Chains A and B, each alone.
Chain A
Amino acid sequence: MKRQLAGWVFAAPALIVIAVFFLGPVIAGLVLSFTDFDLYALADLRNLRMAGFDNYIHVLTLPLFWQSLRNTLYFVIVGVPLSIMLSLGCAVLLQSPLARFKPVFRTALFAPVVTTIVAVAVIWRYLYHTRYGLINAGLGAIGVDPIDWLGSPSWSMPAIILFAVWKNFGANMIILVAALQTIPDEMYEAARIDGASRWQQFVDITLPMLGPTLLMVSILTTSGYFQLFAEPYVMTQGGPLQSTVSVLYLMYEEGFRWWNLGKASAVAFLLFVLMVAVTQGILRVGRRAEAHT
């Protein structure tokens, strides 16, 4: 009994911090999602009404919510694999014994992760500029007509994805470089003696050995990408024609632009449920794949 108490006492500081800064706000948010807390309630609490599931029904019947969900899924489904493939590609190249100036490249590729998104967005807005942008100039040189990257509803999301992938791939790359260093050289040596090609070595040694790391990286990246917000906020403000409104952006607009905190909380909880479901799905797939090998 005494030992148990001692355990709780040691855990208490951490538990209190979690309760105050995590559980409390989460419960408050959940309660808020069942009220119509808004500007008027902010002025006078007597203007607050209990809304039951109205907020959830409102959000689920809102065309913009479904559009924002489609936009977010588009971003996740295209962005996550692209981002991880790029990270993996760069990590493998950096690990290659042929690579020179490794620290320089590692720093250069990691640099976007640590730069401020607002500053970088300014540069990317110039790169994407229809008439004066470097990207369109490059495309023009190979005969492609100028693309209206940030102004056309069909190109705005690819533009955001490109920007986000460039901004974020470095972090995963560093994790994968670390994981690659743990693969013993003997395995590659044995494979070479057995006559395995470079591609076979990659598929049969590198990938399986990276399995657990890749699983973790994909869960982290997926949950991160579901929370798409800063990129459209600084680049397009959700436009053009709401083609870059993500679920989180919708929540921000409802909550902090229009101050409908009830509805915003409902959006937040729906996103939370979705993210839990998706990451659980990835975990399950990952475990099954592991069981097979």
Chain B
Amino acid sequence: MRTLPISTSRRDWLRRTAAVAGAATLAGCARRSGTHTPRTLRFWALGRESEVVQELLPDFEREHPGLTVRVEQLPFTAAHEKLLTSFAGDSTPDVAQLGNTWVPEFAALNALMPLDAWIASAKAVDPTDYFDGIWRTNVIDGQAFGVPWYVDTRLLFYRRDLWRRAGFDRMPSDWTTFSSALDALQRLGIKHPLYLPLNEFEQLLALCLQQSESLLRDDGRYGNFRSSGFKKALGYYTERFHRGHAAAVDNNQIGNLHQEFGRGTFAAYISGPWNIGELDRRLGIARRNDWGTAPLPGPDGPGASNAGGSSLVVFRRTRRQDDALALLGYLSRPAVQLRFHALIGDLPPRRSAWSMQGADGSTLAQEPRAIAFAQQLERARPTPPVPEWERIVQEMQLVAWQAVKKHIPLDDAAALIDHRVDGFLEKRRWMMQRAAKA
């Protein structure tokens, strides 16, 4: 997940307050004029998306006279807590953007409206049009609880000029060659050619998803971190630090990721699609040819990566079900998704949006820096759909961080993660056992 600097969350908060105040005033005016019955749909959106989505909404509101969509902005870092609190306090919004790894959690809370019936009848979304790994993140026990809004898979952003100078015209596709490429970059004088922030779990998670073993076993009853697959992933991860390929830093310690990348402090980092727009903005269009994107190398050949991104969900308690579903349908239209992409750079989850011609006549699938994402998305794999996932993955990263800083042996680190994860899953085991008895 993206971590925003504190200033942004503060700004979001201020803006949200202003937006709420503004919406309240508008609603007041509308009621007084009394031309049609005004309806308001509360839509919680997160981070940058919440700012950009407002530009897409006037068209939707024109299609549905009387309906106002009130976008309430949440910073990404605080969204999870706020959503849970809103559920506890009976004040869930009608529609929300949800990180797709959170879907199982809110489905377990029985907070989300099941969407299968709507998908079958309204025909607004076609599950087969979506990248498979992404669609599956929204399906819990065979029932869909959300529709993917944009996809976020992690892959390599690298300085093409520097890699070329190190003798690599193309990004290696396997771990061993990748590692020797980093050696070559070090010889060029880049002390730590790879940037792997220790407080972000996505990079290590991607390496884990490249293994054949799942991260949890027995239908999510126990952790499976002592598997040889996880140890291999963790081993490759920690080795990057111990060999100096990456500096042992967290993302608070680096000023601005994109500027440092432009400066050549490091020559590659693993991140998501929004970086395409961000790099153009920070480094300028003129430097476009200096950097590129490439799918993640895997243990032996092209590797998998996470099926991240956000989904749109409708909360069960909504009283505007039809309006809410209409908004889901509207935002899932390939044309609207393409516009959204143009505004923010988020990648659409539907293949038909990728092959649709944009304003300039070309398609997204032809955009050189997006191709790597299209390839990576076909290999995206979902994480285990358990409500405890967020906590499990944070704990995994924390132990990995300790393993890097304190040189904890792999076996001990793996056993420690398993021990803690089994603790988190105790309640889940109890519930499953009880359900089996009943």
Is B7 in the interface zone, CB < 8 Å from A?
yes
Contact B255 A240 (CB under 8 A): no
A122-B10, A239-B199, A256-B81 are contacts. A42–B255 as well, Cβ < 8 Å? no
A239-B252, A240-B199 are contacts. A119–B10 as well, Cβ < 8 Å? yes
- Contact mask for chain B residues 245-275; partner A; CB cutoff 8 A; 1 contact, 0 none: 0000110110100000000000000000000
Is A22 in the interface zone, CB < 8 Å from B?
no
How distant is the Cα of A119 from the Cα of B391 in the complex, in angstroms?
29
Interface of chain A residues 223 through 273 with chain B (CB within 8 A):
234, 236-237, 239-242, 256-259
Q: How far is the CB of A76 from chain B (nearest CB, A)?
A: 24
Is B88 in the interface zone, CB < 8 Å from A?
yes
Task: Classify the interface of chain A: helix, strand, loop or mixed.
Answer: loop
Q: How far is the CB of B396 from chain A (nearest CB, A)?
A: 15
Is A202 in the interface zone, CB < 8 Å from B?
no
Is B366 in the interface zone, CB < 8 Å from A?
no
Contact A118 B427 (CB under 8 A): no
Contact A121 B6 (CB under 8 A): yes
From B19-27, B104-112, B156-164, B234-242, the one touching the partner chain is B104-112
Is A164 in the interface zone, CB < 8 Å from B?
no
Contact B255 A131 (CB under 8 A): yes
- Contact mask for chain B residues 396-436; partner A; CB cutoff 8 A; 1 contact, 0 none: 00100110010000000000000000000001001100000
Is B85 in the interface zone, CB < 8 Å from A?
yes
A118-B6, A122-B10 are contacts. A39–B387 as well, Cβ < 8 Å? yes
Interface of chain A residues 198 through 241 with chain B (CB within 8 A):
234, 236-237, 239-241
Is A44 in the interface zone, CB < 8 Å from B?
yes
Contact of A132 among B255, B387, B405 (CB under 8 A): B255
- Contact mask for chain A residues 32-58; partner B; CB cutoff 8 A; 1 contact, 0 none: 000010111011100101000000000
Contact A42 B427 (CB under 8 A): no
B-side interface size class: 20 to 34
A-side interface size class: 20 to 34
A257-B81, A259-B84 are contacts. A39–B252 as well, Cβ < 8 Å? no
Contact A47 B431 (CB under 8 A): yes
Contact A239 B85 (CB under 8 A): no
How distant is the Cα of A43 from the Cα of B198 in the complex, in angstroms?
34
Q: How far is the CB of B77 from chain A (nearest CB, A)?
A: 8
Contact of A150 among B110, B252, B401, B427 (CB under 8 A): B252
- Contact mask for chain B residues 188-223; partner A; CB cutoff 8 A; 1 contact, 0 none: 000000000011000000000000000000000000
Nearest B-chain residue to A255, judged by Cβ: B81
Is B39 in the interface zone, CB < 8 Å from A?
no
Contact A42 B10 (CB under 8 A): no
Nearest B-chain residue to A133, judged by Cβ: B255
The contact sample of 20 A-B pairs, CB cut-off 8 A, is A38-B427, A39-B105, A40-B427, A43-B108, A47-B427, A118-B10, A122-B7, A125-B6, A125-B252, A148-B253, A151-B253, A234-B6, A239-B199, A239-B252, A240-B198, A240-B199, A241-B401, A256-B84, A256-B85, A257-B80
